[in-house]
Amino acid sequence: MSLIYFTAGIEEEKAWEKHANPWSGWTRMITYPLLYLPFWFLRDFLNEPSANWFMPVGLLIVIIWFVINPRIFPKPKSYDNWMSKGVFGEKFWTANKRYKDINIIFTIIPAPFFVTALYTTYMNLFWETMFFASVPFLFKLWFLDRMVFYYDANKEYLES
């Protein structure tokens, strides 16, 4: 059981079912760019904390949203959609400890781009941030696509 699900006190299976709601998945995806916004103002905050209080507040709001998002949406009426299949594919992929297969590259390759995006955001380099932030975002979408493929390919086995 992951730390996030444990700390929320929600049974893991129910949490995955709620997270499989397409609204949960898509609202998390559109929130990813907001993660960079507080870092844009980090230098101002470090120079004048009292005048730039919105930086830590903004970061806290984004983090809280990422934590509560999988729990606030209801269980979907149908799992027959791309996002739900991606979430359940990821659930089965992690449960089967398939970390040594090719899908792990979707986590490893974007990591330096994410760190660089945080740095370029901190330096207020707009176009560089757009480039470096888009790579992890696109890799996340690609990873979800692979998880949909994994789910569809193993559907009968996984649901039995």
For residue 104, is pLDDT > 90?
A: no
Q: Give one DSSP letter per residue of 1-61, joined into a string.
A: --HHHHHHT--HHHHHHHHTSHHHHHHHHHHGGGGTHHHHTHHHHHH-TTTTTHHHHHHHH
pLDDT in tens, 107-122: 899 999 999 999 999 9
Task: Locate the domains of the chain by residue range.
Answer: 3-159
Q: What is the pLDDT of residue 13?
A: 81
